[in-house]
Chain A
Amino acid sequence: MKEMDADVLVVGGGMAAGWAAISAAKTGASVIVVDKGFMGTSGVTAPAGPNHWWVPPDPAQREAAIRRRLETAFGLADSKWMERIIDITWRSIPELDPYYPFSGDGKGGLFRSGLRGPEYVRALRRYATDLGVHVLDHHPALELLGRQDGSVGGAAGYDRLGGVSWHARAGAVVLATGGCGFRSGLIGSYSNTGDGYLMGVEAGAELSGMEFCISYSISPAWLSTRTLPYTGARYYDAAGAEIDVPAGVSRMREHLLVLADAFRAGPVYADLREAPKALPDVVRQIQPATVAAFERRGLDMFRDRFEVKLFGEGTIRGTGGLRIVDTGCATSVRGLFAAGDAATREHIAGATSGGGAQNAAWALSSGVLAGQAAAALARHEGKRAADEGLAPLGQAGLRPLAGMRPVDQKALQQTAGEEILDLDKALRRRATGLEASGRRLEGAWQEVSGHLVGKSLDAVAARETAAMVATARWCNEAALARTESRGMHVREDFPHISPLQAHRQMVGGLDRAWIRPDVAPQRQTKGHPG
């Protein structure tokens, strides 16, 4: 057993974790980062190349940007939050100058709004390390540790390269474990199994916005890639007849409905011959991995027609996650903070996906805010007694309620993924279908929470299975309870937006999942910008 101690423990290794660690360390706090994978390649930030919400500090421009985004948030976002994250994003990215090879923007300036994933997370890692942050790769967290007063005082996990368990005591913990893609194959999401949601709920936190998990991206059928080359694609069915697919950011649902119909009928093919003229010459420089996906199968992506698939993104480009209760990204549990896709993004995206700009700006800024607030709390509380008892809070997959017995984890993971990501289920939600999914997921949860146990390295997989099933169950419950259509959540049996449900919705619970409307006003954290 490896024992560790820090003011702030950051769980995760993507952009939210990176920014949280940096901002905490800047205040002088001692910071440990524990990542399931390698901070630099793990998570969805690394293989992607996130573009951030990027608006210069001109009041008129910012106001207009916020107004535009409020229009598609369907009443669930908050202009104050938007203002804050735009500002933090604008001020933070230039801090990476010594670590990231920023290049031109084609207009004589520097291009700063978009950063390529591998270079971005590498830069965050170097910056954090220079500030004294201790980064531990391949140290998945398995569970949180609770103090007697109900607050969170650390986490425990497994060092999978060292083959030993670890135990970390901390003044505050930031969960930056990403969203849950239910192992759909979405690029970078293999490790994003919703672990933070499960750990947070076990500690007493709530989730919010889990019904908003309907997001997909198109890619070649054999490998999820970034989607840049495909926006101009023409689509064909197996007989070679063209499929007329609506396009445009505001037509996402129609786009998905037409494709879903086509996939039900058989394989769908894309043709990139009408892609923007300048694309073939630069795509290799912008996204080398996208080119490799074709080149390594002997295909010319701009000439050959190729089979495509929609990859589910779950809560990654959905908007749900751990509920935060103040402007420092605290959860309702003292000592526990959430950032990035692990947290709800409703404050800035509401009921529409924040993918494309908002989510990255959120991951950055919520990381900055959570890191600062966690460090402030750790400082305020002082060092707790080194022998203060910390109780392990993990349940499903670690401490089963009934007797342990072999459990078919593959099948359970598949159930979780299917019930949430299946195109027909997701796009055509109605009570009967959601109730049937609910029964299946409840059965899966009973199996997991009752009987699944993993030890050492196997504990990592067991917790991933438990987290995916738990997350699917919360998403489904939330979708069933929101009896209206709002943003990406569309109920065929309640096709209209209801003024009575113009609030966020909390979901939580382990043995029994529960739902509550979230109508409490947000607290302002003292000492925070904005």
Chain B
Amino acid sequence: MIEDIFPERCTGCNDCVTVCPDHVLDPGAAGAPPVIARVAQCQTCFLCELYCAHDAIYVAVEGAGTGTTLHHPTPLIGRLRHDYGWDGSTDDPLRAFWQLGPLLREGLEISAARHTRRQATALSEAATGQEGDEALSSRALGTTPKDPAA
């Protein structure tokens, strides 16, 4: 969720108030930073940060799961806008974009091949009656044994 608007960088232009799709922000007093008024509506899309030309916003990544929320670490301020190429650092921001499809398919092929391999192994083990303890216990857990190719 949006976490900080840095007063020392913010010009009070209120662009982020308009740009946020979920109406999270209200304009501040004249020239002052906007107010984070409805943070529960924030969908962590980073788009306010992308549109802020002064890198005055940091969107933190909260919620349950692995890792810990980092609070506005200096190296990450402005990083996202830079990665998108919206900071003027490149005139060809989408040069790698064509690889999206091929990489997505390659990932699917990797997973599909892995699955087929495991099924074949499971079949041949069942046929020869060579299932080990590990296979039995993991089957009881609703999973399959470790991939012997791993």
Contact = CB atoms under 8 A, between A and B. Distances in A.
Interface of A: 36-38, 40-43, 46-47, 49, 51, 101-106, 111, 113-114, 116, 118-119, 137-138, 160-161, 185, 187-191, 220-223, 227-234, 237, 239, 241-249, 251, 261-262, 265, 269, 274-276, 278-279, 282, 284-289, 291-299, 304-307, 309
Centre residue among B83, B111, B118, B147 by max chain A CB count within 10 A = B111
B41 interface: yes
B100 A299 contact: no
Interface of B: 17-23, 41, 43-47, 50-51, 59-70, 76, 79-80, 83-85, 91-101, 103-108, 110-112, 114-115, 118-119, 138, 141-144, 146-147, 150
A323 to B, nearest CB: 28
A278 B79 CA distance: 22
Contacts of B59: 292, 296
Given A116-B94, A222-B64, A296-B69, A47 B47 contact: yes
A232 B110 contact: yes
Given A118-B84, A278-B103, A221 B66 contact: yes
Nearest to B122: A244
Contacts of A298: 67-68, 70
A270 to B, nearest CB: 10
A310 to B, nearest CB: 13
Given A102-B94, A232-B111, A307 B99 contact: no
Contacts of A47: 45-47
B108 A231 contact: yes
Contacts of A137: 18
B104 A231 contact: yes
A129 to B, nearest CB: 14
Nearest to B141: A241
B10 to A, nearest CB: 18
A138 B21 CA distance: 8
A313 B10 CA distance: 36
A36 B43 CA distance: 15
Contacts of A274: 110, 114
A105 B100 CA distance: 11
Given A160-B23, A191-B21, A231-B111, 15 more contacts: A37-B22, A38-B21, A103-B94, A103-B98, A187-B45, A228-B107, A237-B141, A243-B143, A248-B112, A269-B66, A276-B110, A285-B97, A296-B76, A305-B66, A306-B65
A243 B17 CA distance: 44
A100 B43 CA distance: 25
A116 B43 contact: no
Contact of B106 (A113, A190, A276): A276
A41 B19 contact: yes
Given A51-B101, A114-B101, A293-B61, A41 B142 contact: no
B61 A292 contact: yes
A41 B21 CA distance: 6
A318 to B, nearest CB: 20
A114 B95 CA distance: 12
Centre residue among B22, B91, B108, B143 by max chain A CB count within 10 A = B143
Complex A-B, nearest 6 residue pairs according to Cβ-Cβ distance, in ascending order? A231-B107, A297-B67, A37-B21, A222-B63, A247-B111, A232-B107
Given A137-B18, A244-B143, A296 B60 contact: yes
B19 A40 contact: yes
Contacts of B66: 220-222, 269, 297, 299, 304-307
Contacts of A299: 66-67
Given A38-B20, A261-B142, A288 B84 contact: yes
A284 B110 CA distance: 21
Contacts of B143: 237, 241-244, 262
Contact of A222 (B61, B85, B95): B61
Nearest to B25: A161
B100 A286 contact: yes
B76 to A, nearest CB: 7
B61 to A, nearest CB: 4
A49 B100 contact: yes
8 contacts: A47-B46, A103-B97, A161-B17, A191-B22, A242-B150, A245-B111, A265-B142, A289-B46
B19 A38 contact: yes
Contact of A294 (B67, B108, B110, B150): B67
A138 B93 CA distance: 29
Nearest to A220: B65
B60 A188 contact: no
B18 to A, nearest CB: 6
Centre residue among A46, A51, A231 by max chain B CB count within 10 A = A231
Contact of A247 (B100, B112, B146): B112
B40 to A, nearest CB: 10
B23 A221 contact: no
Nearest to A49: B100
B22 A190 contact: yes
A242 B144 contact: yes
Contacts of B50: 118
Nearest to B95: A103
B62 to A, nearest CB: 7
